[in-house]
Amino acid sequence: MEKAFELLIQDHRQVAQWIDQLTWSSTGRDDRVFSQLRDALEAHTAIEEEYVYPALQETSELKAAIRDAYSEHTMIKNILGELGKSSGMGADWDGQLKALKENIDHHVQEEERVIFAKAPQVLDRTALANINNHVVSEKQRMAA
As a whole number of angstroms, the distance between CA 79 and CA 85 comes to 10
Q: What does the pLDDT look like over 47-67, one tens digit per residue?
A: 999 999 999 998 999 999 999
Question: Please, what is the Cα angle at 131 between 129 and 135, to 5 degrees?
Answer: 120
As a whole number of angstroms, the distance between CA 21 and CA 125 comes to 39
As a whole number of angstroms, the distance between CA 48 and CA 46 comes to 6
Q: Is the pLDDT of residue 2 over 90?
A: no
Contacts of 19 (CB under 8 A, 6+ apart): 37, 97, 100, 101, 104
As a whole number of angstroms, the distance between CA 122 and CA 78 comes to 31
Which DSSP state fits 59? S
pLDDT at res. 26? 65
pLDDT at res. 23? 84
pLDDT at res. 91? 78
Question: Position 137: which residue type?
Answer: S
Q: What does the pLDDT look like over 74-108, one tens digit per residue?
A: 999 999 999 988 877 777 888 899 999 999 999 99
Is residue 37 within 8 Å of 12, Cβ to Cβ? no
Question: Position 140: which residue type?
Answer: Q
User: Percent of the chain scored above 90 by pLDDT?
Assistant: 77
Output the pTM of the full model: 0.91
As a whole number of angstroms, the distance between CA 27 and CA 128 comes to 44
The alpha-helical segments, DSSP class H, found in 57-124 are 63-85, 90-110, 117-122
Is residue 52 within 8 Å of 11, Cβ to Cβ? no
Is residue 135 within 8 Å of 71, Cβ to Cβ? no
